[in-house]
Amino acid sequence: MPAKLSVNLNAIAMLRNRRDLPWPSVAGLGRIALEAGAHGLTVHPRPDERHIRFSDLPVLRALIDDAFHQAEFNIEGYPSEAFLALVEEHQPDQVTLVPDDPSQATSDHGWPFRERLGFLKPVVQRLKRQGFRVSLFCDPDAPEDELAAARETGADRVELYTGPYGACFDDSAKAAIELEKLAETARLAAGFGLGVNAGHDLTVDNLPAIAKRIPALAEVSIGHGLTADALEHGMAETVRRFLRACKG
Ligand SMILES: CC(=O)[C@@H](O)[C@H](O)COP(=O)(O)O
Ligand SMILES: NCC(=O)COP(=O)(O)O
């Protein structure tokens, strides 16, 4: 089965936040994406609300609950107490824990699982007790013992950080090397019984190769590249383009 497509709405929110006006509408674009066949919506609310605002979360949860029951809501972020409270209030289907410092411009690395096991394990257990699927952001070249530690947290999945792969958009030889790292990490993760998601700087051009090389990929979450594509093609057509790309 092709990887599911979760549309990350952070970049739409960033455009909206340029003015004190409600457009482009985050929920409106989310609705168009779901109507066009996207399998879910992703948000990464940061503590300064520079992209997604906390007030977007109930609206997006209601959109899925009211009209798109099969779709999933994925909330990503650093598991501070404030983030965990947001998650518990807005009941996503999946929580993706990311080791971002609040001052980071965007996510740029996965968890050091072994080093942070003592921190992650109780957080994962707290989330799992409430029925959320938990995914952990993972370096593209995480070695076996790191994935063993990811498994020890009790998480269901890892999300492979595909930034270095995405950065090779103009160098196919380097992209092939990055893709092999991702494929090996996915293989190790699967060996520990972890599901595998992927995200960061994926595009309609680089998605087919990763979908083909890692057929077990469960989900991709895509925001920046997908939003850029939607400016050209419109959100509905962009979602159809990315769904085709997910087939490899
Ligand atoms: C974990 C990850 O890679 C995404 O959540 C990414 O960080 C998107 O967030 P921004 O759109 O805020 O960069
Ligand atoms: N989890 C990755 C994500 O949601 C989207 O990241 P990007 O496509 O905006 O780089």
**pLDDT for 10-55, tens place per residue?**
999 999 999 999 999 999 999 999 999 999 999 999 999 999 999 9
pLDDT for the residue numbered 74: 98
Cβ(90) – ligand 1 distance below 6 Å = no
Residue 225, strand partner residues: none
pTM reported for the whole predicted model: 0.97
The kind and range of the H/E element at 227 are helix 224-233
Q: What is the DSSP letter of 51?
A: S
Structural domains in the chain (count): 1
Q: What is the CATH number of the domain that holds 137?
A: 3.20.20.70
For ligand 1, is residue 75 a contact (CB within 6 Å)? no
Cβ–Cβ < 8 Å for 204, 229 = yes
**Burial readout 31-57 (b: 16 or more C-beta within 10 A, e: otherwise):** bbbbebebbbbbbbbbeeeebbeeebb
Residue 103: pLDDT over 90: no
Atom of ligand 2 nearest to the CA of 11: 9
Which residue from 39, 41, 202, 220 has its CB within 8 A of the most atoms of ligand 2, so it is best to mutate? 202
| Ligand 2 atom index nearest CA of 42 | 4
Task: Judge if the beta carbon of residue 223 lies within 6 A of ligand 2.
Answer: yes
In which band, very low, low, confident or very high, does the pLDDT at 193 lie, cut at 50, 70 and 90?
very high
What is the domain range of residue 32?
4-245
φ and ψ of 109, to 5 deg: -170, 160
Residues in the chain: 248
Which of the residues are catalytic? 44, 76, 200
